[in-house]
């Protein structure tokens, strides 16, 4: 999983707009609130507008606002609007990648990884991002100490292998 700087800025921008919803905020106010470069943020907001996540109003009382209630927008929707699919392999969606038969299980792992990412990003709404009131399944994922520990070097699987010979290597 990789979240680009643009994706991170988009998440911050919609979180700010959710905190003032249904009011509008200028790009400058959003940028100042989270110390973001205004010009870059304006490009992010333009992408979010094209994706119908935010609206833009010109003029002295103008600014940006969420097009829908924060509870109706997921973090996954925001990230896809900015960076495209949540998971890709060489620029292709995991289900579009083709391998020779000897590597068919590699594609299955890529699809499983995409499913895992979706199970977080598509379940967290922008209002939850603001309040921290995440579903229990999401809280469990970041509640363990292991979730906060970087991993380097060799790793050992923790999920028990089945007794079926198919699972033996």
Per-residue pLDDT for 126 more than 80? yes
Question: What per-residue confidence (pLDDT) applies to 169?
Answer: 43
Question: What per-residue confidence (pLDDT) applies to 168?
Answer: 46
Per-residue pLDDT for 164 more than 80? no
Q: Give the predicted TM-score (pTM) of the model.
A: 0.87
pLDDT above 70 covers a percentage of the chain that reads 95
* Model confidence pLDDT, tens digit, residues 100-117: 999 989 999 999 999 999
CATH ID of 5-145, from 3.40.50.880, 3.30.930.10, 1.10.10.10, 3.30.1360.200: 1.10.10.10
**Residues 51/165, Cβ–Cβ less than 8 Å:** no
Every domain of the chain and the residues it spans: 5-145
Mean pLDDT across the chain = 91
**Distances 98 to 55, 87, 116, 132 between C-alpha atoms, Å:** 39, 15, 21, 39
* Model confidence pLDDT, tens digit, residues 13-48: 999 999 999 999 999 999 999 999 999 999 999 999
- Residues near 17 by beta carbon (within 8 Å), at least 6 away in sequence: 25, 30, 54, 64, 65, 66, 70
What average pLDDT does this structure show over 51-72? Answer: 95
**Residues 134/128, Cβ–Cβ less than 8 Å:** yes
């Amino acid at each position: 999983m990789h979240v680009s700087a643009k994706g991170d800025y988009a998440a911050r921008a919609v979180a700010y707009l959710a905190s003032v919803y249904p009011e509008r905020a200028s790009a400058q106010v959003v940028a100042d609130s989270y110390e973001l470069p205004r010009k870059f943020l304006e490009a992010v907001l333009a992408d979010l507008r094209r994706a119908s996540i935010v609206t833009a109003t010109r003029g002295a009382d103008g600014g940006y606002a969420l097009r829908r209630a924060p509870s109706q927008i997921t973090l996954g929707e925001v990230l896809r609007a900015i960076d495209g699919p949540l998971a890709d392999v060489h620029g292709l969606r995991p289900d579009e990648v083709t391998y020779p038969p000897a590597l068919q299980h590699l594609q299955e792992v890529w699809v499983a990884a995409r499913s895992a990412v979706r199970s977080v990003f598509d379940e967290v709404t922008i209002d939850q991002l603001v309040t921290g009131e995440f579903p229990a399944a999401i809280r469990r994922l970041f509640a363990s100490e292991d979730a906060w520990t970087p991993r380097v070097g060799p790793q050992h699987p923790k999920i028990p292998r089945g007794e079926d010979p198919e699972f033996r290597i």
